[in-house]
Amino acid sequence: MLRRIGILAVAALATACLTGSPPATAEEGPEQIPNGTFDTATDPWWHTANLNFELSDGRLCSDVPAGTTNPWDAIIGVNDIPLVKDETYAFSFFATANPGKVARAYVQLPTDPYTQYVSAAPELSVSGNTYSYTFTSPVDLPNAQVVFQLGGSATAWRFCVDNVSLKGGAPPDVYTPDTGPRVRVNQVAYLPKGPKNATVVTDATEALPWQLKDSAGTVVAHGTTTPRGVDASSGQNVHSVDFGSYTKAGTGYTLTADGQTSRPFDIKPDAYASLKLDALKFYYTQRSGIAIDDALRPGYGRPAGHVGVAPNQGDTNVPCQPGVCDYSLDVSGGWYDAGDHGKYVVNGGISVAQLMSEFERTKNAATAKPIGSLNIPESGDAVPDVLDEARWEQEFLLKMQRSDGMVHHKIHDQNWTGLPLLPDQDAQKRELHPVSTAATLNLAATAAQAARIFAPYDAAFAAKNLAAAKKAWAAAKANPNLLASPSDGVGGGTYDDANVSDEFYWAAAELYITTGDKEYKDFVLASPLHTADIWKTGAMDWGNVAALGRLDLATVPNALPGRDEVRASVVAGADKYLAALKAHPYGLPYDTASYDWGSNSIIVNNLVVLATAYDLTGDVKYRDGALEGLDYIFGRNALNQSYVTGYGEVASKNQHSRWYAHSLDTSLPNPPRGSLAGGANSGIQDPVAQAKLKGCKPQFCYIDDINSWATNELTINWNSPLSWISAFVADQGDGTVKAPGACTVTYTTHGTWPTGFTTQITLKNTGTKAIDGWSLKWSFLGGQKVTSSWSAKFSQQAATVTAANEVWNKTIKPGQSVTFGFNGQSAPGANPTPDLFTLNGAACA
């Protein structure tokens, strides 16, 4: 499914080259630029009021004043340039800057939304260079515009230009990606005792020898490849390599086959510890409504965006689109959705839900470990940082709810903005768009989840979320068919969804888990989705959220009838994705003839299902499938590159963004480490992709260009599954499979009353050796608290409880048990039996 429709076609259709003349053409068309040589006059060129024209040495020059803020604050241009659809043009000019500066050169539509057919950011020098670009026009246009944007400098400078030329008849710009060596590996790392697989691109049809070499070039393992034939997703004849039997940790390994040597990689137990944090740290720099502290994110500091400080109109008092409503709302805060300044409830919903689920996994999965510090402003407040970050978005979602319970679908600029543009410099009018059933149910689901998760840390915030969730649920039931318009795509994505039955199912599941109420239980059990095969090519995305409910019903403690069948259905989904992975020569769980928009997120979400099946069953095949599938993201793919910024020898770094825009403005950064690019997209909907990737095989339908929004955007809902799976992989250590502890636990709640409950626990030693000292740990669903206890020493941190032995019951002999208990203080909602008990760090059966 497309992530969005109607995104502004802001596209650079060629790369610059420093040459002495424009590219040669076989049959050059006529010159389209009037007076591009400036021999005696400046007409018909024009300039903004803060510039002047001067002819100097046959060049057009202008002194650019100091103190301009935006590139478009100072412009030189010429109008009425005709373009012919599908014609390829050569655009070139000579330019100087004193002192050296970065300018912007555009061939574009002359009116809003100023669609750009060439978008270039040449670095101008004092001595000057000729810059040449090739592009194919996607439209017939009689009045295109050529402009040089010169603003955005704190200091004054002088700009000169000459020999501006635009001619048709240019040879098409043929794009050939540099795929490097034909041996494709995970360029980051493999776990020492995890699977290790690679793909070799070769013409050979018979098995080939391979060698694994350490950093010194010594052969440490060898074997033969497995021919796999022609891979339909890449069009390549490939072989597979399995070197999983080699387990020694080290750095700088390479794999050699068919005369080619792979890019280097590591074998390390802690290889993904940094990504576990970096994928989450992405969200801090996506925040709206707060200044980003450069001390916390060096190189990424910026003023607060959309807080009503000029030129912003701000998000603190946003009106609706004309005719939609007669009120305004404070919808400040939250995360910017992607590379634009819009904020969308349905995309924010799945994103914040997956971050909260990543935290809930630390309470309920045997191999999960604490997430750690994210170095954000809230760090050190006794709340896990991942929840502090999730709260930033959840509070925004709550603000999007109106008094009747319905929720506005989105808020964004009135019109599309160009690149680059820092959030605080966005001068566009902001607008609320109509309420929708889908957005309302997204809030019902995430607020219900937040109610139980935040209860141990902030009871008032938890209660606020639970009230909002119930109100949203009732409103959605009363308005089940208020759908977002597929034509509402000016200034932001549509995020339209014609079927919200999955949103109803997800919301009911979360409300049931949190409250235990019969209304939600009955809805879940009656929904056709509850027993349907929901495991399609992609398990979940913003428009298909039934799996979010299914996964939480399977993994978060609850008393739903038939829960074993729910868990079995998740395992069945994992079996489907595992079969696809094993059948694919590149080892990815994605069985499709064409790649969808955001294919990388689809792949990673399928890996979440595999990892969840491992959490549920302990069967190592699912864990290994999740580990192997991640190899594709980090370089074991047809393009031989990592799709995560900062990870891998060759990695994406020019993702589509208005403020991580280094390739357009060298004063701005590339995206931060841990940002996932959208990935291969057979639809190639943007002009860059259409010009460069026409006829591409699915895996080749990607380009690391900031203007390729269809293949290379970053988004909050693509980083959320990356964050989840990165934590899972990091939690596996060196890949050693840990055996369950030799114990069983019987947890019985004997009595309940309005404010409390009594629970008795029996811990049995099922092993062959005596237990000499014990500590049993589990987590409550929400805000329950131990108030008194007997026969054990109790302690509690947030929702996690530890019961340790007394002196007199320290030893538990084989086959024997100890019994102890506690009185607890109830929290609003359900109080189910925990799923996970760990004895001295090992999970009980």
Give catalytic residues, as residue numbers.
340, 656, 704, 713
β-strand partners of 844: 741
Q: How far is CA 6 from CA 110, 487, 628, 688, in A?
A: 19, 9, 35, 15
Q: How long, in residues, is the chain?
A: 845
Greatest Cα pair distance, the chain, in angstroms, is: 103
Tokens for 160? 């000169």
Who contacts 326 (Cβ-Cβ below 8 Å, separation ≥6)?
320
| Phi, psi of 169, rounded to the nearest 5 degrees | 80, 10
Give the sign of the dihedral formed by CA 627, CA 628, CA 629, CA 633.
positive
Helix (H, G, I), strand (E, B) or coil at 451: helix
Q: Which residue has the tokens 């670095």?
A: 123
Q: 189-190 and 265-267 as β-strands: parallel, antiparallel, unpaired?
A: parallel
Which residues pair with residue 238 across a beta bridge? 201, 229
> Using only C-alpha atoms, what is the Rg of the chain?
29
| CA distance linking residue 115 with residue 106, whole number of Å | 10
Please, are residues 774 and 782 in contact by the beta-carbon 8 Å criterion?
no
How many whole angstroms separate alpha carbon 2 and alpha carbon 352?
A: 20
As given in the structure block, the two tokens for residue 506 are 């997800």
527/507 Cα distance (integer angstroms): 12
- Contact call for residues 445 and 807 (beta carbons, < 8 A): no
**Which residue, among 163, 158, 166, has the nearest Cα to 53 in the 3D structure?**
158
Whether 729 contacts 627, CB under 8 Å: yes
Query: What is the DSSP track for 122-146?
Result: -EE-SS-EEEEEEEE-SS-EEEEEE
SS3 382: coil
DSSP H or E stretch at residue 318: strand 318-319
Phi, psi of 231 (to 5 degrees): -85, 120
Which DSSP symbol is given to 232?
T
Query: Whole-angstrom Cα distance, residue 438 to residue 481?
Result: 9
Residue matched to tokens 């409390």: 756
d(Cα 832, Cα 600) in Å, to the nearest integer? Answer: 36
Q: Which burial class, exposed, middle or buried, applies to 111 when counting CB atoms under 10 A from its CB (0-12, 13-18, 19+)?
A: exposed
Q: What CA–CA distances, in Å, run from 443 to 329, 385, 434, 510, 616?
A: 16, 21, 15, 11, 27
What is the distance between the alpha carbons of residues 284 and 336, in angstroms, rounded to a whole number? 10
809 DSSP assignment: G
Instruction: Please give the Cα distance from 538 to 591 (Å, whole number).
Output: 9
Cα 780 to Cα 670, 745, 785: the distances in Å are 42, 15, 8
Letter string b/e over residues 162-182, b meaning 16 or more CB atoms within 10 A of that residue's CB: bbbbbbbebeebebebebbbb
Give 93: exposed, middle or buried? Use CB within 10 Å, 0-12, 13-18, 19+: buried
**Side chain identity, residue 474:** A
* Residues 62, 73: Cα–Cα separation, whole Å: 14
φ, ψ for residue 666, nearest 5 deg: -65, -10
Edge-to-edge strands of the sheet including 129-136? 17-19, 129-136, 88-98, 157-168, 59-64, 54-56
